[in-house]
Structure 1
Amino acid sequence: MKVRSVIPDIEVTDIEAARSFYQDFLGLGEEEFNLGWVARFTEPESRAAVQVVTEDETGPANPVLSLKVDDIDAAYAEAKASGFDIVRPLTGEGWGVTRFFVRDPDGNIINITAHRVTEDGE
């Protein structure tokens, strides 16, 4: 498994209220996506990013960190083989990612995620 990016997940009560802080003040001006309960703000040049989350819509808890990986199946198999606490099993989501939640040794919930590649390479 190779980690492609690490994105902090910050719990907020209102994504719209958080927008001016993360976009205007911190300069994370590009809103990559907004699902209503999670949004990602990114600095266009460096691609530094932060996700803000109100309440994970499909998971049992809010993660503190999202890791994009190149091989989600290998990551899941390795997490299980290592005996880590799988908080949410490997699941395909309607917005095009497959992910699972795993608890680190200190109890933090980590969202391991990858975009699925279709047969035509997209």
Structure 2
Amino acid sequence: MAHRILVVDDSTSVRLMVSNTLKAAGYQVDTAEDGQSALDASQRASFNAVITDQNMPRMDGISFCRAFRARPENRGVPVVFLSTESEAAVKEKARSAGAIGWIIKPFNQQQLLSVVGRIVGA
């Protein structure tokens, strides 16, 4: 059974690029356009990992990560940020919210697959 990954980004092109990369590697992928939509999706389905952007409308990545982690069933699910943000303070807030990693955009497909493989144990 394929690992199920939730990809969260307000950019349609980034969602497609990340989704296509992961699907080509055999992962099952769900997408959401912002943190609120991702939180809603996480209440309908279980995921093996989440890849989220930081700067999004309605709910940013850090707020999403906090809300996602607040649900007991999501506490062990790895969350990795994929963002143009690179400030140490923002990364620290993400870690405090429960994120385990950070990838800077633009991303390298092999790097993304390597990170996802490590976090889901593939």
TM-score of the superposed pair, with normalisation by structure 2: 0.31
> Which protein has the bigger strand share?
1
Structure with max Cα Rg = 1
TM-score (ref. length: structure 1): 0.31
